[in-house]
Every structure is written in structure tokens, then in C-alpha cells.
Amino acid sequence: MKSYFHLDMDAFFVSVEELFDPSLKGKPVVVGGRSNERGVVSAASYAARKFGVHSAMPLRTAYKLCPQAIFVEGRRERYVEYSRKVYAVLQKFSPRVEMASIDEAYLDLTGTERLLGPPLAAAHALHNAVREATQLNCSIGAAASRLVAKIASDQAKPHGILWIPPGGEARFLATLDVRKIPGVGKVTERNLHECGIRKIGDLAQLDAAFLEKRFGKWGLALAGKARGEDAGGWFDGEIGEGDDPKSVSHESTFSVDTADTATIDAMLVRLSEMVARRLRDHQLHARTIQIKLRYSDFSTFTRSKTLDHATQIDTEFAAAARALFHKSWSGKAIRLLGVYAQSLEAGEGQTNLLEEDKMQRWRNTLAAVDKIRGKYGDTTVSLAAGMNAPFRARVHENPENLPGKDPRSKGLDK
DNA sequence: TCTGGGGTCCTAGGACCC
DNA sequence: TCTGGGGTCCTAGGACCC
């Protein structure tokens, strides 16, 4: 019998911010940006949630619901640092650990009873160890499947532990809303409601053939999930497998929509550079480049191009991104731009022989550039076309970050 | 409700090949 | 030539998660 644990940090971003500024404790706090910015809530304190504020809600809406809330920008490096601390603790309990996101993890504690005791005892030990290392609280679910462990930790929130003994899954799940199943979002929920299915128990009553007919492959997986089984969907495979990224991307929403070609091109170049840099950090090459554009009315389009070789070079991304953009742009104002790298391959990408020498020189240059960027921050060095308006403004805001007096002197010519 | 940014997985049509 | 079926790649879109 398997023994899986799901550990989820309580109001993670907010709790980390409270560690750095204890005066925030107990107050309505919203992490994600200023209250009048374009953007959404990343995390809300329990005090803020009482006013109806929740994550993914537009910041301006959060402000209307709770004007007295403290809005903080949020500092990702801090969350990454604490996430690593949590991971280090969990590794002491089992080598089979997987961070499912920055603030949650799965553990396989199968066969550890003699060492750690029964599930509830192990869960308490986990909770205490995390608390000791980070001063942060978490919630823990334990069960014979990852799916049920995850749902259990959600039910245990905040600051709770819930163990579903083998055989108790159906009874535990029966009264919960179908929405509690990971993977069932707004759309699937609506579709299920239309069939008169509201609770997971309703779902478990139906036969798999009906669900497959109505919802395809997904329906079949749903039938299993209603019974607490992992099979089908993301819970396939063992914990700790598959940590190579499948895509790398950056996107950005303009603070004001723009149709200015120079601004748009500069943003495409900047996003391309950020993507390429991350690929080089991961020692990956990409064969498919995709862009995303979103207009003022929120209509969104993607365009992609698969190259005959894999690359990790800024200029190739930028050229492809700009070509894709200008081929499909209607000329109307743009709200968001994104650049994505897919079909990732490890190691050296292939280039044809003629280009090889040029590429190698580029790689050397980029390696030097990455070093400078690593030292002084991402915005100090850029391709000439990336040195345009929105970007340069940021450089001037932080003159103390600059290696020299004139940032443009560090810009690279083509 | 005027709607971020980083991802994963799935579907579906068309091209192309055998 | 009025016409099959499967496999794989490419492209676009969408649901969902944190």
C-alpha cells in the first residue's frame, strides 16, 4: 500500500512577507502589485480573504473590496529562497520528493512507518520540521494516492493535517464539490453541472462509458478520480521524475496599450533575450518559437514557427519573433506580448557548417554578456534594438545598478 | 471583475509519408 | 482514378494550475 503526502504552504507569499515585516501580521495584505496597477492578486492574507479578496482577482477589484488592505509588490527571490528551504527539509524525510510548484510538494513515504511512525505521526513531524526551518505554517494531506492527498491538504487548510486511511477515500470525496478535483475548472464544472453532477459522489455513481462519451479521454480519467485514483492525467508516473522544463517563456503586459512599432519591437527583442538567456542557463536549445499577442479587447492570438535547427541565441529568437509578429499584426493597439520556446533539446544545437563559426563567436559574446547580466542585473546589457523606450526608462531609474556611466556604451552592435 | 506570468496537457485539422 | 487508413509533425487554440 502506497503512502503519499501532499504539503501545501499556508498563504505562502503573504507569510514570507510577514517574516520580513512583522507589522503585516494579522492585517489584510495583498501580494501582486499596487492597487491601481494592471495585474491580479498573487496571494491574499486570511484577513484580506474575509473581504472576498482572492488570488487571480484583478488588483483594482481587490482594492474596491478592501481599500484598507496593504498592497505589496512581492519579491520572487524571497519565495524561491523559502521554497528551497522547504525542499531541503522534505528531502530529509524521503528522497522521493517533488515540488509541484513554488509552495507545494508531494512526498512518497511508502515504507517509512518503522522510521517515522504511522501517517499522522509522520505528518506532525513534517509540519514541525518545516515550521522550525522556516517559521512558516503548512497544511498536509496523506493518503494512498496523490490525488486524495492533495484534496486532503486542501481540506485541512489552514494549518491542518488530514489523513484519509485506505478504503476511506470514497466516503471522504463523496460530499465534496466536483470543483475540488484538480483539473476540474470553471468550464468542466459547468459541463458537469449541466449533467446534474455537482458532488464527487454523483460522479462516482456514473459509469465510465457515459463519461467517456460526453467528455472524451478526460471523462474516463474523471471517473477514476471520483474514486480517488491517480491514473490518467498528471498523477501518472513516479514522484521525482521529469524535472526538465518542456517550455520556457516570458510575456509582458504594457501598462498602456500601444501600437508604436519601435516600442513593440523593443519589447519583442527584450522578451527574446530573456527567453534565450534562460535556455542558456538551463543548457537547452529550442526548435519552436512562438509569440503571443493580445489586443486591447483581450482577443489573443498565437503564432509559431519551427526551425530546421535548435537554437539558444538571442538574435535568432528576436528575428523569428519579429517576423511572426509582423506577419499577423492587424495594426491595432497591443496589450500583451509573449515569446515562447518549445521543443526543447539538451546540449548543443545543430547549425549548418557555414553558420557555425559565426554562431560560435556569438555564443562567446553571449556568454560574456550573461556574465555581466548576472553581475549587474538583466537590464544593463541589451541588443541595440532592445534599448528602446520602456526598457531604457528602467535603466535610468536605477543608475546605481550600472557598471559604467553610459548604459548604451555596453549595448552590442549587430 | 477591465482581467499577470510562468507553466502543463489535450484536441483537432492539415500536411506528408507509407 | 473520386478514393483507405495509420503515424507523425506542425500549427492554433483552450482548459487548467499556482
With DSSP H G I counted as helix, E B as strand and the rest as coil, what are the percentages for chain A, rounded to 5? 45, 20, 30
A212 and A253 in a single domain? The answer is no
Q: Which nucleotide is nearest to A40 (CA to C1')?
A: B4
Are residues A267 and A351 both part of a single domain?
A: yes
Find and list the nucleotides of strand B having atoms within 7 Å of a protein beta carbon.
1-12
| Residue A229 CB neighbours (<10 A) | 16
Taking the C-alpha atoms of residue A40 and residue A281, their distance in angstroms, rounded to an integer, is: 29
Strand B: residues with CB below 7 A: A 38-40, 42, 55-58, 60-61, 64, 101, 216-218, 233-234, 242, 245-253, 278, 297-298, 335-336, 338
Q: What whole-number distance in Å separates Cα of residue A43 and Cα of residue A30?
A: 6
Q: How far is CA A325 from CA A90, A291, A302, A310, A344, in A?
A: 44, 7, 9, 20, 22
**H or E element that contains A9:** strand A4-9
Whether A160 contacts A141, CB under 8 Å: no
> What pLDDT is attached to residue A236?
72
- The pLDDT of residue A377 is 56
Distance CA A108, CA A241 (A): 12
For the record, the C-alpha cell of A304 comes out as: 509559431
For residue A390, cis peptide bond before it (omega within 30 degrees of 0): no
Query: Do A342 and A264 sit in the same domain of this protein?
Result: yes
**Segment-wise mean pLDDT, segments of 10 residues, chain A, 414 residues:** 96 97 97 95 96 96 97 95 97 95 96 95 98 98 97 96 97 97 94 94 91 85 92 73 86 97 97 97 96 97 96 96 96 97 80 60 73 62 44 33 34 33
Q: Which protein residue lies nearest to nucleotide C10, measured between its Cα and the C1' atom?
A: A306
* CA dist., res. A178 & res. A186, Å (int): 10
Please indicate, yes or no, if residue A39 is contained in any of the structural domains. Answer: no
Residue A165, domain member (yes or no): no
Q: Which amino acid is at A117?
A: G
- Nearest nucleotide over every DNA/RNA strand to the A56 CA, judged by C1': B4
CA of A238 to C1' of B2 (A): 42
Question: How many Å apart are CA A168 and CA A411, to the nearest integer?
Answer: 63
- A193 and A265 both lie in a single domain: no
Q: Is the CB of A185 under 7 A from strand C?
A: yes
Boundary of a domain, candidates A161, A195, A227: A227
Residue A216 lies in a domain: yes
Does the nearest atom of strand C lie within 7 Å of A100's Cβ? yes
pLDDT value at residue A216: 83
| Residues ≥6 apart with Cβ < 8 Å to A84 | none
What confidence score (pLDDT) does residue A335 get?
97
A200 contacts A226 by C-beta, under 8 angstroms = yes
Please report whether residue A254 resides in a domain.
yes
Which residues, other chains included, contact A262 with Cβ-Cβ below 8 Å and sequence gap of 6+? A388, A389
Range of the domain at A198: 171-227
> Does residue A178 share a domain with residue A255?
no
Contact, A56 CB vs strand C, < 7 Å: yes
Do residue A214 and residue A344 come from a single domain? no
- Say what the pTM is: 0.86
Is A204 inside a domain boundary?
yes
| Chain C bases closer than 7 angstroms to a protein Cβ | 9-18
Question: What is the CA A324 to C1' C8 distance in angstroms?
Answer: 25
**Which amino acid type is present at position A195?**
C
Q: Are A253 and A223 contained in the same domain?
A: no
What does the alpha-carbon distance between residue A227 and residue A203 come to, in Å, rounded to a whole number?
A: 9
- Answer whether any strand C atom is within 7 A of the Cβ of A301: yes
- Strand C atom within 7 Å of A186 CB: yes
| Whether A393 and A255 share a structural domain | yes
**What is d(CA A392, CA A320) in angstroms, rounded to the nearest whole number?**
23
Query: Which pLDDT score is estimated for A196?
Result: 93
Helical spans, DSSP H, in A247-313? 261-282
Asked if residue A252 and residue A219 are part of one domain, the reply reads: no
- Scanning every strand, the nucleotide with its C1' closest to A184's CA turns out to be C16
State the cell numbers at A384.
541595440
How many domains in chain A? Answer: 2
User: Closest nucleotide to residue A101 (Cα to C1')?
Assistant: C18
Alpha-carbon distance of A180 to A172, in angstroms, equals 12
CA distance A16 to A71: 14
Same domain, residue pair A270 and A306? yes
Query: Considering the domain boundaries, does residue A349 fall inside one?
Result: yes
Known catalytic residues of A are: 104
Domain-located, residue A345: yes
Distances in whole angstroms, Cα of residue A228 to Cα of each of A119, A120, A178, A203: 18, 20, 12, 11
Closest CA to A25 of A101, A137, A118, A119: A137
Q: CATH number for the domain including A187? A: 1.10.150.20
CATH of the domain at A339: 3.30.1490.100
Distance A313 CA to C12 C1' (A): 25
User: Cα–Cα distance between A389 and A398 in angstroms, integer?
Assistant: 15
Q: Letter for the amino acid at A17? A: E
Say if CB A24 and CB A44 are below 8 A apart.
Answer: no
Indicate whether A359 and A263 sit together in one domain.
Answer: yes
User: Is A195 a member of any domain?
Assistant: yes
Say how far A117 CA is from B5 C1', in Å.
Answer: 41
Asked whether residue A353 falls in the same domain as residue A313, the answer is: yes
